[in-house]
């Protein structure tokens, strides 16, 4: 006999999701990856964009250091945004950067990764994820299949685990779903849906502006929060009776959000299908890890104490309020 997934233990899931979300809002700038983009514009000449996140008003304390084969051709021009600082400059390399090293001095003292994207004039694109434990990158003109898989699987995992809006949506769905079979069906529908739009958007078959998409993603969480409250008060609706349909519909929107993140990373020329598949696998691994942690927490807490059912409503209000704030924030940044 299946047990309900929501009772007191599911409440804890919502509370943990809220705590994680608020913590994520507080530390989002610190864990957001820095980004280095290098594009070849001529023989031995490259344009460079270096974006570093800002946390609590302070710039990420990381400085670029080039090996002897790379020369700074121009003084960097700086532009400060609300969440990052962007530097643009020109560099030169006699060997077209092959085998040259860029060191990120100070990265080892942070918890931030750096995404490095290099595009040569023949269309070759390489993408490398640099971690604090090894704060440098050696430029390659071609990545192996294993390297492409590793970079994009890790990128997908990190994107979903630091994508607090996506995680909060999944946690909210788990508050609505009361049977294990339906939970599996709902999560599968969400996965299939965002995989479809991720693929279509990445391949250029469908395109939507990122601003409205991010607004609708936040609104999807508000809607699910409202449906949790309706359910707890004895009401019914499409989302309550057939949550997998709602998960599929909003999963299409979330897929466009994933595609925006993947576009920022840059896809390697000639390996686009592999990179897309690997990123999607990483997203699913991260999502399953999140669900597994919540279910394990449910099991452990259920053995310790019962939580009043009315607290589920309080958690739903908390979810909806946070998502509503995101809606307002994204409306302002998109249209103001």
pLDDT tens string for the chain (336 positions)?
444 444 444 444 444 444 444 444 444 334 467 889 999 998 889 999 999 888 767 788 899 999 999 999 999 999 987 778 899 999 999 877 888 899 999 999 888 889 898 888 877 778 888 989 999 998 876 667 887 888 889 888 888 887 888 888 988 888 888 788 888 899 889 989 999 999 898 888 888 888 888 899 999 999 999 998 998 888 888 888 899 999 999 999 999 888 877 776 666 666 778 888 898 899 889 989 988 888 888 777 777 766 666 777 888 888 889 899 989 988 887 776
- Which residues of the chain form CATH 2.60.40? 33-144
Q: What's the fold here for domain 33-144?
A: Immunoglobulin-like (2.60.40)
Per-residue model confidence (pLDDT) at position 258: 86
- Tokens in use for 86? 């962007």
* Per-residue confidence (pLDDT) for residue 32, from 0 to 100: 62
Quick one: pLDDT at residue 18?
Answer: 47
Determine the pLDDT at residue 295: 82
Residue 265: the pLDDT is 65
What is the distance in angstroms between the CA of the first residue and the CA of the last residue of the chain?
53
Task: Give the number of other Cβ atoms within 10 Å of residue 91's Cβ.
Answer: 20
Could you tell me if 126 and 77 are in contact, meaning their C-beta atoms sit under 8 angstroms apart? no
As given in the structure block, the two tokens for residue 44 are 């031995």
Beta bridge partners of 54: 59
């Amino acid at each position: 006999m299946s047990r309900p997934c929501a009772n007191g233990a599911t409440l804890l899931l919502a509370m943990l999701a809220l705590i994680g979300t608020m913590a994520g809002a507080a530390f989002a700038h610190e864990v957001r990856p820095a980004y280095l983009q290098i594009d070849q514009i001529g023989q031995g000449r490259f344009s460079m964009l270096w974006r570093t996140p800002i946390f609590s008003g302070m710039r990420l304390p990381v400085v670029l250091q080039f090996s002897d084969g790379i020369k700074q051709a121009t003084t960097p021009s700086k532009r400060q945004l609300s969440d990052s600082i962007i530097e643009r400059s020109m560099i030169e390399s006699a060997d077209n950067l092959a085998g040259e090293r860029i060191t990120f001095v100070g990265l080892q003292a942070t918890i931030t990764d750096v995404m490095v994207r290099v595009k040569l004039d023949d269309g070759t694109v390489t993408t490398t994820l640099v971690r604090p434990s090894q704060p440098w990158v050696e430029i390659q003109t071609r990545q192996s299949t294993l390297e492409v898989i590793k970079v994009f699987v890790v990128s997908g995992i990190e994107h979903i685990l630091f994508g607090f809006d996506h995680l909060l949506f999944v946690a909210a769905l788990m508050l609505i779903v009361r049977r294990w079979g339906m939970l599996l069906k709902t999560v599968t529908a969400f996965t299939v849906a965002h995989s479809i739009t991720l693929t279509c958007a990445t391949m250029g078959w469908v395109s939507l502006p990122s601003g409205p998409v991010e607004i609708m993603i936040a609104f999807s969480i508000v809607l699910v929060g409202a449906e949790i409250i309706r359910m707890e008060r004895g009401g019914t609706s499409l989302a309550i009776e057939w949550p997998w349909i709602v998960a599929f519909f909003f999963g299409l929107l979330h897929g466009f959000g994933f595609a925006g993140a993947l576009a920022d990373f840059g896809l390697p020329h000639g390996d686009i299908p592999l990179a897309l598949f690997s990123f999607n696998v990483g997203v699913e691994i991260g999502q399953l890890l999140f669900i597994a942690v919540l279910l394990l927490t449910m099991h452990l807490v259920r053995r310790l104490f019962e939580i009043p059912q009315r607290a589920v409503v309080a958690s739903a209000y908390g979810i909806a309020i946070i998502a509503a704030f995101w809606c307002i924030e994204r409306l302002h940044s998109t249209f103001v």
